[in-house]
Structure 1
Amino acid sequence: MKSNFKSIQYELKDPLTGSYFYFTNDISSYLENTLANPTANRILWNQGDENFNFTCDENTVVLTENSFCTLTALNYVKIPENNQRITAICFNREFYCIRDHDHEVSCNGILFYGAQKFAVLKIPNTELLAFEKLTDLFVKEFEEGDSLHSEMLVSLLKILIIRLTRIGRNQIIGIQGDKQTIETIRKFNLLVEENFRSYKQISEYSFLLNISSKKLAELFRNAKLDPPLQTIHQRIILEAKRMLLFTLKSVNEISDDLGFEDASQFSKLFKKYTGKSPGIFRSKKN
């Protein structure tokens, strides 16, 4: 870290509404606080000059210099102790609900709840100064907060999400310029998030999107994304893992919750993607 670097953290809580917002420019000093709220979405930014590695849902995430990662409350994150300069912005749905306000920022299906379990974005050099100034504004607002403090933080968060969404449209989805295709993929991802317990076939989603299953699969193939059916299955498996790790529900109960008529059907799908039966996966948890 640079010698003139000063570690800071700020937190805003409203006990009446449950609203929560947290900002730090140094998670190495405030790691416990950064991960303290299990209902929070998180945006992590590697402002250092070395790669930063952590684990998300059993996957290793590598943040290179000036890369962002967007995580939802659904992601199970393990961050090792380190001394790298990582900025974290955390907020819950009571502070700003990205689902209810999707019409404002259009980030769902790209930054959050997307075809990928999480999004990793590289900030273009031409935009780096704008992002640095934006984080400076977060700090300034905490230092000079008044009666409009919360509203100002929401406004800054929306600007950050919109800027990241613009980058994500180019970097996460391998299509540039075709706005209709990007929007179709984004809507599919969001529909999967909302309906994966009820709908498990591509045809059900293509009907909601008013597009043929063949055309939908072609869009994902051209965008170099996982096939739509695999996207549906991966979301089911992610939820199953969370329930196996963090609840006491039986495999049969989890199967019912995820909308399977037969627990053997669920177990077969789970083993296909993880290499383990649900029972074995739970027994080997850390």
Structure 2
Amino acid sequence: MTDLAAALTVAVEAARTAGAIHRAHAGKALNIRSKSTYSDLVTEVDALSEAAIREVIARTYPDHAVLGEEEGLAGGSGDAPYRWVVDPLDGTVNYAHGFPFSCVSVGLEERGERVVGAVFDQGRDELFTATRGGGAFLNGSLIRVSDTPTLTTPALVSTGFPYDGSGEGNLALVARLLRLGVPVRRPGAAALDLCYVACGRIDAYWEFGLKPWDSAAGSLILEEAGGTVTGRDGVPTPYAPMIVATNGRVHAELLALLREE
């Protein structure tokens, strides 16, 4: 078993190093291009940040695999016991437009189990961290999920939409919450959505079509803060086609709404 405290130190260094790149390029002309659709953007900051993250990790853990949004799986084999899962710039569209909701996400899996997570919001200088069994923290202070008991208290809920046409299917789910009078937000950076549930700023979050780098670190932070992360079927996982993340208290209620036909 790896030393989780040492691994977290590396995760934090990698996240802060990438965050410094975000800050250095903020507000400047960016080389922006599209990926899967015209609205699925990527910038040179994404590539520079991922390269920097990989360099930091390789200095301490040269034999570990790294799965990143921009470069895919590298630096190890697909069945390596340790895999870092990184999003060098979560919320690229927000960042490219100057909308202040984006972050760096760095997680570590040990034999498939998420054991370390660091999410750094460079704009607010907020660092969310967790280790398996060690609790969750925001800038070094322990965090916990909210105690909101029901969706109609009311809870504050967030969601997201994929960049292709499949996002239309989420509109009906949003409408169910709105009809109950539950306020719904769409901030646009999954890792931060998960961390905001972890620290009690929002009570629940769901989204279709996330990739491992979107949810690896944030889901661990949320679980260590006392929250719940499952698929739509209620099975615990951060990697389902649709993930549902809550303070735990509203989880069954939200699942029931999302499952309605």
Aligning the two structures, in what range does the TM-score lie when normalised by the shorter sequence?
A: under 0.3
TM-score using structure 2 length: 0.25
Report which structure shows greater RCO (CA 8 Å, sep ≥6). 2
TM-score using structure 1 length: 0.24
Indicate the structure (1 or 2) with the bigger Cα radius of gyration: 1
Bigger helix share:
1
